[in-house]
Chains A and B, each alone.
Chain A
Amino acid sequence: MELIIAAIKAIVIVALILQLIPVLIWFERKGSAYIQDRRGPNRAQILGIRLGGMIHNLADVVKLFCKQDIIPTKASRIIYVVAPMIAIFVASATVGVVPFAEPLHLGGLTIPMQVADLNIGILYILGIGSLGVYGVMLGGWSSNNSYSLLGTLRASAQMVSYEIAMGLALIGLFLVTGTVRITEIVSQQTGFHWYAFTQPIAFVLFLTSLFAETNRNPFDLAEGESELVAGFHTEYSSMKFALFFMAEYAHIAVGSLIVSLLFFGGWNLPGLDFDWIRVYPEAALSMGLPALAVGAIAFGLFLCSKFRRHKYNDARDYEVLIFGVPHVLIGFLMIGATLLLHGTTLPTWVGPVLVAALQMGVVLAKTLFFCAFFIWVRWTLPRFRYDQLMDLGWKGMIPVALFNIVITSAWLVFVH
């Protein structure tokens, strides 16, 4: 029974991360558009519904599946095919120890809200993440293309360099936490004792090396378009290219999750007392639901007020109504539920489930904030030069990280 739950959970959690990928791509397209003062994608539609460009992701999937599946004649065929599989394997396997909420106690059953609670904790993520370099190395090498090879060399040298800084930053954090299990690290950060404030140097170093590990701007020299066409995946087409693309976004999603769990308190939010909610779900619901209802109705009415019958003269005119009316209806349903709730006692499972859902919501909100941060940085900062990049990694971040370790340990021994 427990094994079946564990297996289902593993697949659901990977599916959740994969679901974040289209959201992130949409974020990226719309975000870059607004930063560059454009409109962004808004053409693809299903019966006139455009979802502000979301449908473009669906169109992309269909397009990529139907593209010519090219294996260059000079490529090493097996490795060429295996490389994107390694990339997506690593990207989706890193989520293995990431918790989304506190373990859920239901009756006699305890369900940890993560794939597996391993003793080695976050070292698992470091270990699996360090395999990510193979997707890049093998993909670029096997294509037998000069641009790919140059992109590969740059990307892999950069990824391994920043892995050291990442490990050293985490050592600074482990000194304070005294454990490598993410659940325990999060439970230490109640209230505002977030490690971003007590270990600021480790936080900045970790975030920076995360940018380098995911090969994102300002560290995206591996695919500097002006120099290397597309870097290591120049020769890839159709879904094989998409796997590299998906792996990049999955890395961003998992990386943001880890940052928000390790440094930003995870599911802790000042003012939210989960123990209280677990015991008194009725009180929490009767306070929370009306507030949510007012918000939903206000948002729905705002959307409906944007309705103009002859703005575009096609189905787009009704888009705001399609979104606005359900919001208003849901708001009224919530008010109805609050009234029904009044004076009744809920079954005992409501409290824990409500807490788990709330915690997941908080974690996902923080994660999406960091995802947006990734995108914001990409479209704001210019690219490094390669020697600057390597100098920053080896001569900037490593000494700072070592300094942080020494200072933290000395403080723990002599002051604390």
Chain B
Amino acid sequence: MIEAYLFYFFAVTTVLLAVTVVVQPNPIGAAVSLVGTFFSLAALFVLLHAHFVAIMQIILYAGAIMVLFIFVIMLLNLEPEKVKLRTIAGNRLVQGSAALYLAGVIALAFFGWRQFFTQGVVANEMEGTIEAVGKLLLTDYLVPFEMTSVLLLVAIIGAVILARKPVE
């Protein structure tokens, strides 16, 4: 029972912080709210007994990706007053497709995956430990594991090329 209350608490926190990210005029403030969002997402993962994923969420998203974001914001020097609030109010196509997507997700949640809501999925307590996740990753998902390193290699090369000095 307490888990349900905790879930609602962290779910509401996550959504509120995510909304703050969008409405915040100060880009650094938005980035800080995003760190908070990732943090409460990690708490949600813990509630699902996904311990390793939760700590990955904190190490990678909150600890690494957001550092990069803040560096970029500082690099571009976006001052709050310089940022013009651009809204997508006029663009019917964007509005319509976003609404359609949201409606589709909600409909799918209600009709397609109904049994998950009524019965609930009981997560195995030992499923999310570092040993269990590692065993799956290193045996059943061996090829994706190795491919990740290749993907990251591509990303490293891309980053170096993007930031290199233009050749004269």
Contact = CB atoms under 8 A, between A and B. Distances in A.
Q: Do chains A and B touch in the complex (CB under 8 A)?
A: yes
Given A76-B26, A79-B28, A180-B130, A120 B63 contact: no
A120 B131 CA distance: 9
Contacts of A131: 35, 58, 62-63
B13 to A, nearest CB: 16
B59 A123 contact: yes
A299 interface: no
Nearest to A118: B51
Given A76-B26, A76-B28, 11 more contacts: A118-B51, A119-B129, A120-B51, A126-B55, A127-B58, A127-B59, A127-B63, A130-B58, A130-B64, A133-B67, A134-B66
Please tell me the size bucket of the interface on A: 20 to 34
Contacts of A180: 130
Contacts of B52: 120, 123
Contact of B55 (A127, A138, A160): A127
Contacts of A134: 32, 35, 66-67, 70
Contacts of B26: 76
B144 interface: no
The winner among B26, B54, B62, B130 for most chain A CB atoms within 10 A is B130
15 contacts: A76-B28, A79-B28, A79-B29, A119-B51, A120-B51, A120-B129, A126-B55, A130-B64, A131-B62, A137-B67, A138-B32, A141-B70, A142-B28, A149-B74, A156-B71
Given A119-B51, A120-B51, A120-B52, A138 B67 contact: no
B67 A156 contact: yes
Interface in B37-67: 51-52, 54-55, 58-59, 62-64, 66-67
A204 interface: no
A5 interface: no
A128 B67 contact: no
Interface string B128-153: 01100000000000000000000000
A33 interface: no
Interface string A123-148: 11011101101100110011000000
Q: Size band of the B side of the interface?
A: 20 to 34
Contact of B32 (A79, A119, A124, A160): A79
Contacts, number: 65
B28 A141 contact: yes
A397 B64 CA distance: 19
A133 B26 CA distance: 20
A120 B55 contact: yes
- Give 6 closest A-B pairs by Cβ, nearest first: A130-B63, A127-B58, A127-B59, A120-B55, A123-B55, A119-B129
A11 interface: no
Contacts of A141: 28, 70, 74
Interface in B111-136: 129-130
Contact of A78 (B29, B58, B71): B29
A349 B63 CA distance: 44
Nearest to A160: B67
A119 B62 CA distance: 20
Report which residue of A119, A131, A153 has the largest number of chain B beta carbons within 10 angstroms of its beta carbon: A119
Interface string A375-400: 00000000000000000000000000
A339 interface: no
Contacts of B29: 76, 78-79
B130 A120 contact: yes
A410 interface: no
Contacts of A329: none
Contacts of A130: 58-59, 62-64
A133 B59 CA distance: 12
A211 B12 CA distance: 39
Contacts of B62: 127, 130-131
Interface in B17-45: 26, 28-29, 32, 35
A287 interface: no
Nearest to A134: B35
A126 B51 contact: no
A8 interface: no
Interface in A60-79: 76, 78-79
Contacts of A160: 64, 67
Nearest to B59: A127
Contacts of B32: 79, 82, 134, 138
Contacts of A163: 63
B35 to A, nearest CB: 7
